[in-house]
Amino acid sequence: MADTVAEILLPTSELREDIPFFTKVLGFKLDMIYPADDPRVGVFSGHGLRLRIDRDAATAPGVIRILTEDPEGFAGGARTLTAPNGTGIEIEARNPPLEMPPTAHSFVVRRLKDQAPWIIGRAGMHYRDLVPDRLGGSIIASHIRIPDGGPVPDMVHFHKVGFQLIFCIHGWVDVVYEDQGDKMRLTPGDCFIQPPEIRHRVLEASDNVQVIEIGVPAEHVTEIDHEMTLPTPHLRPDREWDGQRFVFNQAAGAVWQAFRLPGFECRDTSIAENTRGVAGVQVVRPVPGGGSSPWARHDTDIHFTFVMAGTVTLEGEGRRPYDLEQGDAFVIPPHMRSRLSGASADLELLEVTLPGRFRTELV
């Protein structure tokens, strides 16, 4: 395929007017022109494109988007232009800063028995949305499953995100990460955080593997890296991506400690420490003889909880009580009074907060 070239065909009425625009204004190179006495075809290359501008082309002028590290210094700073042949030109930043929309706070309860649809997404994975309003675009929380085990048709890729968590709740999945050594197997209770733009690839999964994935913001770009091969030759566990370290936290051997709410205990995943407080992730369970908390309120921006096992009642200020069970999820907005009560002995919750360090007030 090395000798195969693709061209974009564009029309023109007068090629002589297009040549200076595409070469001097946009920086393309003129590679071919004919016939000499009355040019009607010009072939240009640049910015990863090959253009054939043809006076006999029966096609629309189209639009070309040029992505550059310096949009203000390209084409005199213009962001939209129109070529003499009618082709629209859009100049955009190649790597625009990640936009974090302000959180639209709301009280959310999502129950498995409500039968929200499973949507087939990337690499054949099934997605169930756990926060339908996505808090104004600030977060996406997904229950993901791969029904049929075996190799996963994934490619080396990365996500342009502010924070991303993968927490396994059933089965197992093998994943390999940039600069983190050979493949790692995620099993129930284990989690990864994927720092912004770390390259990775899902290799293989058990039948009906299920994970909870948290992404901030809700809409973020996934890019394929066609050049990198994983695993990479270097092991760099202390490497940071945008101030965050990769975390592989395992449930086995975890140390449990007092939780912020009386009546419960937790195991911390070290994610707040390794993200410099961007997010915190804890697994929560009732202490013996506990399972009910006093009324409390918090001041973190996003407070998401998923019920991994057991049952519990969620009470919120001005709301009717919700009896929750495995597969349910909820979001408590900042400063809203709430409490947990009547937890079963086997209750296990996944709590994700952004930021990871915040205050809880018992009221």
Whether 124 has a pLDDT exceeding 80, the answer reads no
* Confidence class for position 2, pLDDT limits 50, 70, 90: low
For the segment 45-73, what is each residue's pLDDT rounded down to a tens digit?
A: 999 999 999 999 999 999 999 999 999 99
Say if residue 348's pLDDT is above 90.
yes
Among 94-98, 127-131, 263-267, 303-307, the range scoring the smallest mean pLDDT is 94-98
Q: 96 falls in which pLDDT band (50, 70, 90)?
A: confident
> Strand, coil or helix: what is 355?
coil
Identify the pLDDT of residue 118. Answer: 84
pLDDT of 121 = 73
pLDDT for res 125: 79
Q: What is the pLDDT of residue 325?
A: 97
Average of per-residue pLDDT across 319-335: 97
More confident residue, 122 or 314: 314
- Mean pLDDT, to the nearest integer, of 233-256? 95
pTM: 0.88
Q: Which amino acid is at 185?
A: R
Whole-number pLDDT of residue 114: 84
Tell me how far apart the alpha carbons of residues 292 and 275 are, in angstroms, rounded to a whole number.
31
Mean pLDDT on 128-152 = 93
170-219 pLDDT, tens digit per residue, is 999 999 999 999 999 999 999 999 999 999 999 999 999 999 999 999 99
Strand 63-68 and strand 257-258: pairing?
unpaired
Domains of the chain: 8-93 (3.10.180.10), 108-248 (2.60.120.10), 257-362 (2.60.120.10)
* pLDDT value, residue 123: 63
- The continuous run of DSSP H or E covering 19 comes out as helix 15-20
Q: Give the 3-state secondary structure of residue 221.
A: strand
Residues 6+ apart with CB under 8 A from 273: none
- Average of per-residue pLDDT across 302-325: 97
What is the four-CA torsion angle of 150, 155, 161, 162, rounded to 10 degrees?
A: 60
Cα separation, 346 vs 357, in Å, equals: 27
Concatenate the DSSP letters of all residues of 24-72 into one string.
Answer: IIT--EEEEEE-SSS--EEEEEETTEEEEEETT--S---EEEEEES-GG
The answer to whether residues 180 and 237 touch, using CB atoms and an 8 Å cutoff, is: yes
What percent of the chain stands above pLDDT 70?
99
Cα–Cα nearest to 216, from 117, 355, 343: 355
Q: What is the mean pLDDT of the chain?
A: 95
Query: Are the CB atoms for 212 and 306 separated by under 8 Å?
Result: yes
Least confident of 1-15, 34-48, 200-214: 1-15
Structure tokens at 155: 């490619």
Instruction: Write down the pLDDT at residue 98.
Output: 87
CA angle 74, 64, 26 (to 5 degrees): 30
Give the pLDDT score at 300: 98
Residue 287's pLDDT band (boundaries 50, 70, 90)? very high
Nearest to 330 by CA among 102, 170, 171, 135: 135
- pLDDT for the residue numbered 119: 83
- State the DSSP H helix or E strand holding residue 20, giving kind and residue range, or none if neither: helix 15-20
Q: Which two tokens stand for residue 225?
A: 């890296």
- Residue 250: the pLDDT is 96
- 135-159 average pLDDT score: 92
Give residue for tokens 């001041």. 299
